[in-house]
Amino acid sequence: MTVDLRVKLSDMHLKTPLILASGILGLSARMLAEISKIESVGAVTTKSIGLKPRDGYPNPTIVVLPYGFINSMGLPNPGVESFLAELDEAGSFDSPLIASFYGYNIDEIAEVAKIIARHQAVSALELNVSCPHVSGISEIGFKPELVAEAVAKVKKCIDKPLFVKLSPNTHLVVEVARAAAEAGADGVTAVNTVKAMVIDTELCRPILSGVYGGLSGPALKPIALRCVYEIYEEVDIPIIGCGGVSSYLDVVEFMLAGASAVALGSIIALKGVEVFGELARGLSKYLERKGIRSVREIVGLSHR
Ligand code: DHB
């Protein structure tokens, strides 16, 4: 039996449900174009882009733990105009390119969205209102009414699908997803990293120069999975599951919880892009063993 791994996300057609998450290998447009050509890659996402260039924080910006990473890069990016110039030079994309972006207020968010959406290589946008440690970002993403306002304004300025990347650092994750959906978002990405920190016991001070960072990797997975499950129960909107996926069974779990596609982050940083092929093969074998022809059939199946 040959199984079908293709999924549809809003108006995008993905060869597989496996997406490169934002922040992983996504600062170079050329690298993203290369990754988009890998057979088992469904879509690729850029590092979050803002209106103006940002240096990010000085080192140390990442701590490796037995159960994941805590990273605090500080949203380094070249700014939207330079990033689009880089995209011009990057060559073609063989799977959809999702542009992650942020702004410090609603007008700025809409301005960045308008500029990014004009580029023909960009298939969809992902609004980052959930970076856990750069001030001014989660402050928007924690408030359903502000997220609704941002989504409505962005949707007026662009004619491409808009996803909202949600924060797990609020008890209102379902309410924020609902607000995004009602304001016209085409999907949500659940979830961004959990706000976290590490302290050096010799120096008696926080290790990360930004003090706080975002926890990703295996420790995040059950939290992210719970968020996807809760959103699927309550809100009728496509979900990209994201958080600590490291095996094909994690992909299956996210899809059973209600994700239409799954984004990979820490595992790619750890093991490289070969993981896409590994997970796609595992997913196919799982479906074959279960006698399921299309991966689309398992989306939300655990809610019966
Ligand atoms: C950064 C941004 C994020 O959205 C995140 O989850 C973790 C880190 C950053 O650029 O520092």
Examine residue 26 and state whether it is found in any structural domain, yes or no: yes
| Predicted pLDDT of residue 93 | 97
Examine residue 172 and state whether it is found in any structural domain, yes or no: yes
Picking from 42, 119, 44, the residue whose alpha carbon sits closest to that of residue 80 is 119
- pLDDT tens digits, 3-62: 999 999 999 999 999 999 999 987 799 999 999 999 999 999 999 999 999 999 999 999
Segment 212-226 mean pLDDT: 98
- Look at 27 and 272; give whichever has higher pLDDT: 272
Segment 192-220 mean pLDDT: 98
Block residue for tokens 């941002």: 150
Q: How confident is the model at residue 136 (pLDDT cuts 50, 70, 90)?
A: very high
β-pair type (194-196, 199-200): unpaired
Examine residue 245 and state whether it is found in any structural domain, yes or no: yes
| Predicted pLDDT of residue 27 | 77
- CA gap 10, 237 in Å, rounded: 9
For atom 5 of ligand 1, the residue with the nearest CA is 131
Residue 157 is among the residues annotated as catalytic for this protein: no
128 lines ligand 1 (CB under 6 A): yes
The overall average pLDDT reported for the chain is 97
Q: Residue 93's domain spans which residues?
A: 7-55+74-193+216-303
For atom 3 of ligand 1, the residue with the nearest CA is 131
Contact call for residues 33 and 177 (beta carbons, < 8 A): no
CATH number, residue 113: 3.20.20.70
Mutual angle of helices 144-157 and 173-182, in 10-degree steps: 30
| Predicted pLDDT of residue 121 | 97
Q: How many CB atoms are closer than 10 A to CB 5? A: 19
Segment 264-293 mean pLDDT: 98
| 223 has pLDDT over 90 | yes
Examine residue 286 and state whether it is found in any structural domain, yes or no: yes
Segment 89-111 mean pLDDT: 97
Pocket residue to mutate for ligand 1, from 134, 139, 189, most atoms within 8 A of Cβ? 134
| Predicted pLDDT of residue 1 | 81
Examine residue 292 and state whether it is found in any structural domain, yes or no: yes
Size of the chain in residues: 304
- CA gap 258, 251 in Å, rounded: 11
Examine residue 63 and state whether it is found in any structural domain, yes or no: no
Single out the catalytic residue among 131, 157, 227, 242: 131
Segment 128-135 mean pLDDT: 97
Q: What is the pTM of this model?
A: 0.98
Cis omega before residue 206 (within 30°)? no
Segment 226-249 mean pLDDT: 98
Number of domains comprising the chain:
1
Contact call for residues 154 and 99 (beta carbons, < 8 A): no
CA 91 to ligand 1 centroid distance, Å: 27
Please give the share of the chain, as a percent, with pLDDT higher than 90. Answer: 98
214 lines ligand 1 (CB under 6 A): yes
Residue 49: both structure tokens together: 């882009």
Alpha carbon 125 to its chain's center: 10
Q: How confident is the model at residue 304 (pLDDT cuts 50, 70, 90)?
A: confident
- Using alpha carbons, list the distances in angstroms from residue 44 to 15, 28, 59, 133, 161: 12, 12, 27, 24, 14
Examine residue 204 and state whether it is found in any structural domain, yes or no: no
Examine residue 2 and state whether it is found in any structural domain, yes or no: no
275 lines ligand 1 (CB under 6 A): no
